[in-house]
Amino acid sequence: MSRIGISLFAVALSSTLVGQSPAFVVFGSGCPGSLPASQLSLMTPPVQAGTMSYDIDHLPVDAAVVLTGLSRTNSSLGALPLDGAAYGAPGCFLRVSPDASALVLGAGNQATYSLAIPPGVGLIGVRLFQQALVLDPAANAAGAVTSEAVEFVIGLAGWPFGVRPIANMVPIPAGSFAMGSNSGSGSPYFSFAWERPVHTVTISRPFWIAKYEVTQAQYLAVMGVNPAFFQGSAYPSAPMRPVEQVSWSDAMAFCSTLTASESTAGNIPAGWRYRLPTEAEWEYCCRAGTTTEFSYGAGLLCSDERFRYSWHSVQFCGSTETVVVGSYPPNPWGLHDMHGNVLEWCMDAWDGVTPNYPANPVTDPYVGIGPNRIRRGGSWGARSDGCRSAYRETGATDSFMGFRIVLAPWPL
């Protein structure tokens, strides 16, 4: 009796993580008949520039062909576009994206196969969907049985397998950068002594950071309240504007509540949590590989971000309130509103006046004890000098003050 095992990958080639879903998703057999579905399991995690191996159990000994399918969309998981009739299994479908294509991966009777994942930041966060189809004339009227399907995400070395971020979290690789600023104390940057000395910082562990500042809708959904000033019918699309008038403690409580919920859902392994970024993580993400005063370059114009006055174009920007998150272009790493809209709380403590940067290179710096907490990023009411990548300050809770979150290792 001839049997053929066909394995199909559906790869969503999008570097943005979308939604929240478990690592292993059962989509069902997709074939008529009473035989139990075959099962798939990952032998090694999918890591950038690595080799991922997977195992197909219940694969017949005389299996001859294994195929791989590639998909470029995050289509509905309920779609059943690939008809098994093309492979001799009429009535059977594989639940992958509509634009999936089948490619020969290998031949033989082995139950374990490997898929090489090429290098490239663009593949970080890509979702893969895998399902197997075993042709067996004796199985049922269709002569085939499909496996359960699994879903997983390409990560980086050092990322734990099984982390599933909430929507709109951007994966950030580990790396080093020059933190601080040597710009002058006069116009247009008005730099401060506590931004110096410029020093090398290494972020040793990859993490995810929110693409947008936490919105009023997000805060309300998690905490049950909305403290924002710019809410209600007087402010169009208010739920999608950043939440403000939140204290550092409020932001920390949001992170703790979200972590508890996602941990209960099985989306966060031990040693990871949602939290505020450290000051170093924040500037690393704000700069996004740039070394200029802004991620946009040497100057900040009114068309770049939501802020009040630009020293570079010598004009007021007409900003009197927040705007919907993502209304302005992103920085090179795809993050929005890093130089405006609302200020953002960081984890670190500082007195707000004493220069405290080290002269020597440091790794994963964090100051946990101090009288005040640091805020970064500028706001709708700031001048351009207060929106620089290196600008740092402390302050109170007001309508300029919001936050964004990271999903990162814990403890620091």
Given a contact cutoff of 8 angstroms between Cβ atoms, the answer to whether 111 and 59 are in contact is yes
Tell me the per-residue pLDDT of 352-380, one tens digit each, with 9 for 90 and over. Answer: 999 999 999 999 999 999 999 999 999 99
153, 177, 202: which is the final residue of a domain?
Answer: 153
Contact 74, 27 (CB under 8 A): no
Do residues 26 and 133 both lie within one domain? yes
Name which of 1-5, 45-49, 274-278, 400-404 the model is least confident about.
Answer: 1-5
The answer on 256 and 326 residing in a single domain is yes
Q: Provide, rounded to the nearest whole percent, the portion of the chain with pLDDT above 70.
A: 62
Q: Which residue in this structure is represented by tokens 């490997």?
A: 114
Statement to judge: residues 234 and 275 lie in one domain: yes
- Please write the tens of the pLDDT for every residue from 339-355: 999 999 999 999 999 99
In a shared domain, residues 101 and 222: no
pLDDT reported for residue 41? 61
Kindly state the tokens that stand for 408.
């990162």
pLDDT of residue 74: 38
Cβ atoms within 10 Å, residue 298: 11
> Given a cut of 80, is residue 116 above it in pLDDT?
no
What is the distance between the alpha carbons of residues 8 and 131, in angstroms, rounded to a whole number?
5
CATH number, domain containing residue 304:
3.90.1580.10
How many Cα atoms are found within 13 Å in the side-chain-facing hemisphere of 336? 18
Banded pLDDT at 42 (limits 50, 70, 90): low
Token pair of 46, please? Answer: 């999918």
- How far apart are alpha carbons 245 and 227 in whole angstroms? 6
| Boundary of a domain, candidates 153, 186, 208 | 153
Rounded CA-CA distance 343/376 in Å is 6
For the residues 292-310, what does the mean pLDDT come to? Answer: 98
Which comes out higher in pLDDT, residue 30 or 114? 114
- H or E element that contains 106: strand 101-107
Does residue 380 share a domain with residue 346? yes
Our CA dihedral for 43, 46, 48, 51, rounded to 10 degrees, sits at: 30
Q: Are residues 195 and 94 in the same domain?
A: no
Predicted confidence at residue 91, as pLDDT, reads 58
Q: Closest Cα partner for 218 from 267, 167, 274, 171?
A: 167
pLDDT for position 385 = 98
Closest CA to 87 of 36, 156, 134, 131: 134
* Same domain, yes or no: 149 and 176: no
Are both 306 and 343 inside the same structural domain? yes
Assess contact for 140 and 89: CB atoms under 8 A: no
Supply the pLDDT for residue 281: 98
Q: Establish if 121 belongs to a structural domain.
A: yes
Same-domain pairing of 16 and 120: yes
Indicate the SS3 state at residue 194.
Answer: helix
Q: What are phi and psi of 111, to 5 degrees?
A: -100, -10
- Nearest in space to 244 (alpha carbons), one of 223, 230, 233: 230
Question: How much is the pTM?
Answer: 0.75
Give a yes or no: residue 161 inside a domain: no
Quote the tokens at residue 162. Answer: 């099984």
Lowest-confidence region among 34-48, 61-75, 93-107? 61-75
* pLDDT for the residue numbered 381: 97
Structural domain tally of the chain? 2
Distance CA 38, CA 294 (A): 53
**Is residue 28 pLDDT above 50, yes or no?**
no
Domain assignment of residue 162, yes or no:
no
Closest by CA to 357, choosing from 195, 192, 203, is: 195
Residue 52 pairs in a beta bridge with: 115
Using CA atoms, how far residue 141 sits from 91, 132, 191, 267, 411, in Å, is 9, 18, 76, 39, 56
What's the domain range around 272?
Answer: 169-409
**Domain termination site, one of 122, 153, 184:** 153
Q: Minimum mean pLDDT among 39-53, 106-120, 257-271, 285-299: which range? A: 106-120
Residue 117 and residue 258 in one domain = no
In angstroms, the CA 94 to CA 114 distance is: 20
